[in-house]
Amino acid sequence: MMIDAIINTVLQTLETIAAAVLMLLPDSPFQSITLDNLGVLSDVMGYINYFIPMAQILGFISLYISAIVIWYSVRWILRIARYID
Amino acid sequence: MGDFMVKKLSYISICIILIKLIMPVQAKAIAPIIVAGVAVEVGTIAFWAGAAASVGIGVAIGMEDDFFDDLVNWANETYNNASTAIKQSISASVDEIKNAYDTTRKYVIEWSSDVQQYLINAWNEYFGERISVDPISNEIVDGWSQFFPMSNGYVPDYFYNGGKYFALIESRLGINSDIRYTFYSFQAPPYVATTKNWTSRIGYEFTNPEWTGTHNLHYVTWYCTNACQPKAMGWSTVQQYISYAPGFSTYESKSGDIYDYDRLIFANFDIYLENDIRQSDVIATPFPANYPGSISIPAPRWIDQDDGVVIEKPKIGVIPGTAITGITYAPTLTIDDAISTPATPPTPGFPDIPDPGRPDLSIFTNKFPFSLPWDIYHIVGLLSVPPKTPDFRLNTHFGSDIPVQFSHKMDYLDPYMPFFRTLIFIVVCGGFIYRTRSLLGAGK
């Protein structure tokens, strides 16, 4: 289909441009931090996690924030569309 | 200025995420969205666009990667559901069919009544979109019959009845024409014969038309045997309802006396894209038997291939009925229930639907500063180390010669801590719920 081909070409061009721009950026300096680098902090966090379920709480917080962001986004859009007040 | 840059970066981020999400499925996935967008209100489009953006943001702040899968699979879900359900209704080994029957493929498969009803629904859903009408030419967008030699036919209408589709053909006939119609066999000859309903339209009636059909497994041709011609000069229109069975596209590559035809002479518009992911997975062309109340479906397209599968509790063979001149049916062949419950479950030979692939966001997640959301997620992840039983040890000296040794391991709490951790987690969740009320404006 002609339209398919055009859309695909546009998408691929956009992706290529985006990828080319992103390639110029530096790598994230934070990705190199690992548990091994943290040393004793890793043990301390283990002790803390023994009493407080940090992993579960942090996971929940991330999901919670996602839900809140989605809600605000949807609400914003719905307001634009005058679906709700 | 700072706010402006943040906004701009946010927009760029969302755009790049959306592009990355869309790329694997490309235009084919966009097309139905566009179609749907035309059909619904602009507000709804905005809703979905916002939802997609929100998913992107959600991923950015640390949602599981599975969300990507969900999003990508969403586009295929409808197709998968239909085809999977059809697969599940299929159980007998194709070898049984092949061994029990000859290779002429002059057979149909009759579905059991429960499967039959299911298929009526499933096929309507599955193939419904294939029975679409070209909005420009008002034709059903596939070639399915040939008007030979001089008329152009088109299909302005069709209707559904008892699992069978009937199409209304209209064609314009010139005067002094050799009126001859040929319908090819994906419209089964029995149907062509039994549903023949020649009428003519207003003002251009035929003169005592007497039609005679000659039949072949492949086609049926109708002649006007008494030199009937339109009364008037110009054009006349012939209407005929014949069966129209959806989902026949998969036979274009078939060979043999039944399906050997050149689709080029039929179709002037091909609705099936070459890379249509559904095409590889559909049941083949219906070859309807003239059998009231039944859906008759040909073998799956893999019937003459290596390891296909066929339909649950099938009765294989041609339905015995009134023979039509020129058509020789093979005897009915029935496969009993033993075959429908094979000792070893057959492995369906259906090809997998191609995975459109997961969006590659690595270049985006590793490059500063776009990586910041993922960096936060990474750092937070570092804090989520497994719980470790505290073990306090002290081994030193007080002064020069007084040893101070202390050891206290809290492993005696191990049996209880999971409970308390769960309790703390519940309390935290409750706190979030409580705070959310005010955050969302409840009670104001």
Q: Model confidence over B185-242: pLDDT tens digits? A: 233 322 332 233 344 433 344 444 555 555 443 344 455 544 444 444 333 334 333 3
Q: ∠ CA(B1), CA(B3), CA(B9), 5° rounding?
A: 105
Q: What pLDDT is recorded for position B406?
A: 75
Burial of B358 (0-12, 13-18, 19+ CB in 10 A): middle
Q: Is the pLDDT of residue B246 over 50?
A: no
Q: Model confidence over B295-330: pLDDT tens digits? A: 333 333 323 332 222 333 333 333 223 323 333 333
Chunked into runs of 10 residues, chain A (85 residues) has average pLDDT values of: 78 79 79 76 83 84 85 83 64
Picking from A11, A31, A46, the nearest residue to B387 by CB comes out as: A46
Structure tokens, B58: 């959600």
Picking from A49, A56, A64, the nearest residue to B432 by CB comes out as: A64
Best of A8, A35, A36, A57 to disrupt the B interface (most B CBs within 10 Å) is A57
Over pLDDT 70: what percentage of chain B? 17
A20/B contact by beta carbon, under 8 A: no
Nearest chain B residue (CA) to A71: B54
Q: What pLDDT is recorded for position A79?
A: 81
Average pLDDT over all residues of chain B: 46
Query: In this complex, do A62 and B380 lie within 8 Å of one another by their Cβ atoms?
Result: yes
Nearest chain A residue (CA) to B361: A19
Helix (H) or strand (E) holding B182: strand B180-184
Residues of A in contact with B50 (CB under 8 A): 73-74, 76-77
DSSP B83-135: HHHHHHT--SBHHHHHHHS-SS---EEEPPHHHHHHHHHHHHHHHGGGS-B-T
Structure tokens, B183: 């319908």
Contacts of B160 (CB under 8 A, 6+ apart): B124, B166
CA Rg value for chain B? 33
Q: How many whole angstroms separate alpha carbon B156 and alpha carbon B178?
A: 24
Question: How far away is chain A from the Cα of B24, in angstroms, using its nearest Cα?
Answer: 10
Task: Quote the ipTM score.
Answer: 0.73
Parallel, antiparallel, or unpaired: how do β-strands B164-174 and B153-161 relate? antiparallel
